Amino acid sequence: MTIYNLGSINADIFYRVPHLPMAGETLSAVSMERGLGGKGANMSVAAARAAARTVHIGAVGKDGLWAKDRLTEFGVDTRHIHVAGTTGHAIINVDDQGENSIVLLAGANREITRDMVGAALSDASVGDILVMQNETNAQAEAAKMAKDLGLRVAYAAAPFEVAAIEAVLPYLDFLFVNQVEAEQLSIAMGKAVHDLGIEHVIVTLGSKGSIWYNQSLSASKRFASHKVTPVDTTGAGDTFTGYVLAGLDRGMPMEQAIGLATKAAAIMVTRHGTSDVIPDLKDVQDHFGG
């Protein structure tokens, strides 16, 4: 099976700072690094590193061809990454506790056309997965197209925007939200996230693990996290989502897929960076055994 990812690709520029800057504050960074990122790219790399066939649908500018090359090196199918405009980028401040604040410029990520999505999905088979986040355009069109073709549709609601979720909601099989997003969504919709009519809702709780709500079983299950000392939480959620979907794509039951994803995310928070440092299955095995 295959995971199709309509996803952002960013140049991530990381500043290590003693604390996250306050309004009006000028702050000296300790260091600066650049790398491949974007919630979409991170999920594609995670899914590929978890051994799922992964096709990325997206766009970079001519200044971002290195990002496309890097995704190819990670084993992602990049034939549906187009060249348009200027590559998206993210300014990421990371403090001494590993917390971050991110400023995004979408650039080429919002220049994806319906035809680009259609061309990629024309190769898809029933049961494949389409995953999206809220850093590109064309999500609702892609979700409808995918559903009509018999794909399973997953959405990670970040950056959070109620209208963007409402547009894809009728098509979703999987919704990934963190605790803050779950609360925001629940207030906006006037009901709990597990009452939105979505078969699988996964709420990530950072160091407290995650909860999976399953509509058909009317059940929920809590997953504990692994104790680690975090140095940078950036991209951990994307790693978790990519790993869960890769596990499901490879035929794992949800509990097993979440278990594997929880391990990968735990390793991820002990590393500085995003796509470039996402663990592969061997890293997970070396770290946790099994």
**Candidates 34-42, 57-65, 198-206, 249-257 — which segment interacts with ligand RIB by CB under 6 A?**
34-42
Q: What is the C-alpha separation between 171 and 164, in angstroms, rounded?
A: 12
CB of residue 283 to ligand RIB, shortest distance in Å: 19
Nearer to ligand RIB, 78 or 100 (CB): 100
276 is catalytic: no
Which span (21-29, 31-39, 54-62, 212-220) binds ligand RIB, by CB under 6 A?
31-39
Torsion of CA 187, 101, 87, 178, to 10 degrees: -40
In one-letter notation, the amino acid at residue 40 is: G
Is 39 a binder of ligand RIB (CB under 6 A)?
A: yes
Q: Which residue is nearest to ligand RIB (CB)?
A: 37
Contact 206, 232 (CB under 8 A): no
Q: Give the binding range for ligand RIB (CB under 6 A) out of 62-70, 141-149, 176-184, 233-241.
A: 233-241
> Cα(95)–Cα(231) distance, rounded to whole angstroms?
8
Buried (b) or exposed (e) across 225-235, using 16+ Cβ within 10 A? beeeebebbbb
Query: Smallest distance from the beta carbon of 38 to ligand RIB, in angstroms?
Result: 4
Of 61-69, 195-203, 231-239, 248-256: span binding ligand RIB (CB under 6 A)? 231-239
42 lies in the binding site for ligand RIB (CB under 6 A): yes
Peptide bond into 159 cis (omega under 30): yes
**Residues between 182 and 211 that touch ligand RIB (CB under 6 A):** none
Contacts by 17-25, CB closer than 8 A, 24 or more apart: 17/93, 17/94, 17/95, 18/95, 18/96, 19/95, 19/96, 20/93, 20/95, 20/99, 20/100, 20/101, 21/93, 21/101
Measured from the CB atom, is 38 or 279 closer to ligand RIB? 38
**Encoded tokens for 263:** 């391990």
Tokens 């950056």, located at residue: 159
279 near ligand RIB, rule: CB under 6 A: no
> From the list 2, 87, 134, 234, which residue makes contact with ligand RIB (rule: CB under 6 A)?
234
- The C-alpha atoms of residue 46 and residue 188 are separated, in whole angstroms, by 30
Options 128, 173, 232, 238, the catalytic residue: 238
Q: Is 38 in the site for ligand RIB (CB under 6 A)?
A: yes
Q: Which of 7, 37, 64, 85 binds ligand RIB (CB under 6 A)?
A: 37
Asked if 61 interacts with ligand RIB (CB under 6 A), we say: no
Q: Which positions from 81 through 140 interact with ligand RIB, judged by CB under 6 A?
A: 90, 102, 104, 135
| Beta carbons of 157 and 176 less than 8 angstroms apart | yes
Phi, psi for 82 (deg, rounded to 5): -100, 165
Residue 235 contacts ligand RIB per CB under 6 A:
yes
Please tell me the number of Cα atoms within 13 Å of 70 on its side-chain side.
21
Asked whether position 58 contacts ligand RIB by CB under 6 A, the answer is: no
Q: Does position 64 bind ligand RIB by CB under 6 A?
A: no
Dist CA 196 CA 257 (whole Å): 23
* 35-43, 189-197, 202-210, 281-289 -> range binding ligand RIB (CB under 6 A): 35-43
Would you please indicate which residues are annotated as catalytic (active-site) residues?
238
What residue ranges bind ligand RIB (CB under 6 A)? 8, 10, 12, 37-39, 42, 90, 102, 104, 135, 234-235, 238, 274
